[in-house]
Amino acid sequence: MRVLLLGSGGREHAIGWKLAQSPRLERLVSCPGNPGLDDLGDIAPDVDPIDPEAVLQLSIERDIDLVVIGPEAPLAAGVADRLREARVAVFGPNADGTRLESSKSFAKEVMAAAHIPTARSVTFSDREAAVLHLEETEGPYVVKADGLASGKGVLVTESLEAAIAWVEECLTGRFGRAGESVLIEEFLNGDEISVFYICADGEAIPLEPARDYKRLGDGDTGPNTGGMGAYSPVPDLPDDLVEWTTLNVTLPILAELHSREIDYTGFLYVGLMLTDDGPKVLEFNCRLGDPETQVLMPRLESDLLTVLNAAATVGITGQNLTWSDRAAVDVVLASPGYPDDPTTGLGIIGLERVSDAIVFHAGTQHTDAGLMTAGGRVLNVVGVADTLEQARADAYAAVDVIEFTGMRFRTDIADRDAVSRKERGAT
């Protein structure tokens, strides 16, 4: 099969790496791709992946059998809609289903209709009303830009002043149109976990859960980022967590969407907080997690291409996924200044000296002067081993030989003490 993969991040490199292992793959084309994906097939760096017509043209020119959409932006822009209309097989929801991610207020409305446990929230587009609401509630405060903000539109703070300032920043354009309205949400306490699905025709196949690290600094300090690392499997989760999530979140959401005439085919990411009152949904995304995908793909034994193609064409009844017992740990190497103002164009050295780890590219670029940084999150260094401890040791050993100016990373990804402290419910 000839597959077109949209996206250019570490998640897409990991998906492409897995697709490339399929005996059914004839050619992988990535748009716009990155240097890692370039090594796995062709790239189409000059085609805009969020332009539906341009993606359709590329699919036709390259005689593509299946389009797999990695990030949310092409989905929100209606790329899947256009491909379906033209009868090109595509894995990824239409723009209407993508609203689960692109509008947090829509997600809340659908969750309320489907009786799905989530934090209480109120949506505001008026500053005065939002501030009054904050003043009447107790901290910690959770303030979210309603629309897409690359994981950076959420502030969780003890400070009323900071919460008010965030409302103002959102409403005055810090996140563009994504911040035209804000949600003020009940604070949920607990451990977070990401559960993923491949969905089609109201059915859902779960992937393994993974845990990511959203804060920039060690010990979960600093601003929220797109994600600074991840690991899987996650020890000591409730045994029935995935089954609970399938029955209480995923299938009801798909049914609720269906009742609104939204047919959802694609990945679904359920972000959960494991609270004392049981799991509650923090967010939905219409894609896999980044960096969670980078630890899931190395553990997946089944042929991903077969399942995604089935979802996009005949449905997933009878399909399943099998997983290895091995552990994977991903350490993200980020640019100086990330997440607010990453410096790019810095030379990267040492990749050829990496052994015993997989390196997935994210913000990198080939230039005449060699490999350079080209984004906030630059590389994902993934150790895969029989135990979480060994996978972590392998990942950090590889991190040690990679260098670029101002490279920053967390040193506590999958740290055993930190992991078990979390599992015991300490904060």
- Torsion, Cα 116 249 260 282, to 10 degrees, reads 60
For 32, residues 6+ apart whose C-beta sits below 8 A from its C-beta are 8, 43, 44, 45, 46, 47, 48, 49
Contacts to ligand AMP from residues 380-409, by CB under 6 A: none
CA atoms of 217 and 227, how far apart (whole Å): 11
How do the residues of the chain divide into helix, strand and coil, expressed in percent and rounded to 5? 35, 30, 40
Sole window of 25-33, 241-249, 283-291, 343-351 interacting with ligand GLY (rule: CB under 6 A):
283-291
Pick the closer one to ligand AMP by CB: 12 or 185. 185
Pick the closer one to ligand GLY by CB: 65 or 101. 101
CB of 409 to ligand GLY, least distance (A): 15
Contacting residue, 83, 188, 257, 385, with ligand AMP by CB under 6 A: 188
Pick the closer one to ligand GLY by CB: 22 or 225. 225
Sign for the pseudo-dihedral over CA of 13, 314, 323, 242: positive
Q: Does 144 bind ligand AMP (CB under 6 A)?
A: yes
Pairing, β 266-275 against β 191-200:
antiparallel
Q: Does 8 bind ligand GLY (CB under 6 A)?
A: no
212 contacts which partner out of ligand GLY, ligand AMP, none, CB within 5 to 8 A by kind? Answer: ligand GLY
For 155, residues 6+ apart whose C-beta sits below 8 A from its C-beta are 141, 142, 143, 144, 162, 163, 166, 224
Pick the closer one to ligand GLY by CB: 146 or 292. 292
Q: Does 292 bind ligand GLY (CB under 6 A)?
A: yes
Contacts to ligand AMP from residues 79-118, by CB under 6 A: none
CB 348 within 8 A of CB 378: yes
Q: Does 227 bind ligand GLY (CB under 6 A)?
A: yes
Sole window of 47-55, 69-77, 84-92, 187-195 interacting with ligand AMP (rule: CB under 6 A):
187-195
359 contacts which partner out of ligand GLY, ligand AMP, none, CB within 5 to 8 A by kind? Answer: none
Taking each helix axis from N to C terminus, what angle separates 416-423 and 388-399, rounded to the nearest 10 degrees? Answer: 130
For 365, residues 6+ apart whose C-beta sits below 8 A from its C-beta are 34, 35, 371, 372, 373, 374
Q: Does 214 bind ligand AMP (CB under 6 A)?
A: yes
CA atoms of 83 and 49, how far apart (whole Å): 12
What is the pattern of x (binds ligand GLY, CB under 6 A) and - over residues 122-161? -----------------------------x----------
146 contacts which partner out of ligand AMP, ligand GLY, none, CB within 5 to 8 A by kind? Answer: none
Alpha-carbon separation of residue 77 from 9, 151, 193, 339, 375 (angstroms): 18, 18, 28, 24, 22
Give the footprint of ligand AMP on this chain (CB under 6 A): 119, 142, 144, 151, 154, 156, 185-188, 192, 214, 224, 271, 282-283
Give the footprint of ligand GLY on this chain (CB under 6 A): 151, 212, 227, 285, 289-290, 292
